[in-house]
Amino acid sequence: MSRGSRALVDALVVGAIALASLPPLAFAQAPPAPSQTPPASTAASATAGEEQALDVTVTYSGKGQVSAKNEISIFLFKDPNITEASEPIAVGLVEENGGHFLFKGLPPVVYIAVVYDEAGNYSREGPPAPGTPVSLHGMAAGGAPEGVKPGKDAKVTVTFDDSNRM
């Protein structure tokens, strides 16, 4: 792994530490409970949120098996320059290989990072253990990850293996 990509992956881990400070709703991405008489702008807001969605499918081709114990964490960031100060804007979990997670209410462009919980004990309250398989979507060697544009029917597939580790 090149020095530049190693720094980005290390920064991703530091950003994952910030997940512990996110409120539970940031993880759930659940729609708010309906009110008795919604204001006129509610329909427009709901449509805008649906249009800024992203369905992320993740395939892990490493030696381990994806399961409820050994899940894949999906982190979304607003900025490709992931640093120690970066905080993910959303996180999702996939418990089966080739599974997907639907994110809603996203900004115009997001950057995706994935972590495979090989040991079965990653709580997302800190960095993954050294040697954990990780990847930044679309990142060329030594470059920045590829931005993905959410939209009404936006989908992206992330495939990774054991070749890039913490």
Q: Where are the domains of the chain?
A: 3-23+49-160
Per-residue confidence at 98, pLDDT binned at 50, 70, 90?
very high
What residues contact 113, with CB distance under 8 A and at least 6 apart? 12, 15, 74, 75, 77, 82, 88, 134, 135, 136, 137, 145
Q: Domain 3-23+49-160's class? A: mainly beta
3-state SS string for 53-75: EEEEEEEECCCCCCCCCCCEEEE
Helix (H/G/I), strand (E/B), else coil: 43: helix
What is this structure's pTM? 0.71
- For the stretch 1-14, pLDDT in tens is 444 444 444 544 44
Compute the chain's Rg from CA coordinates.
16
- For the stretch 46-91, pLDDT in tens is 454 457 999 999 999 999 999 999 999 999 999 988 665 678 999 9
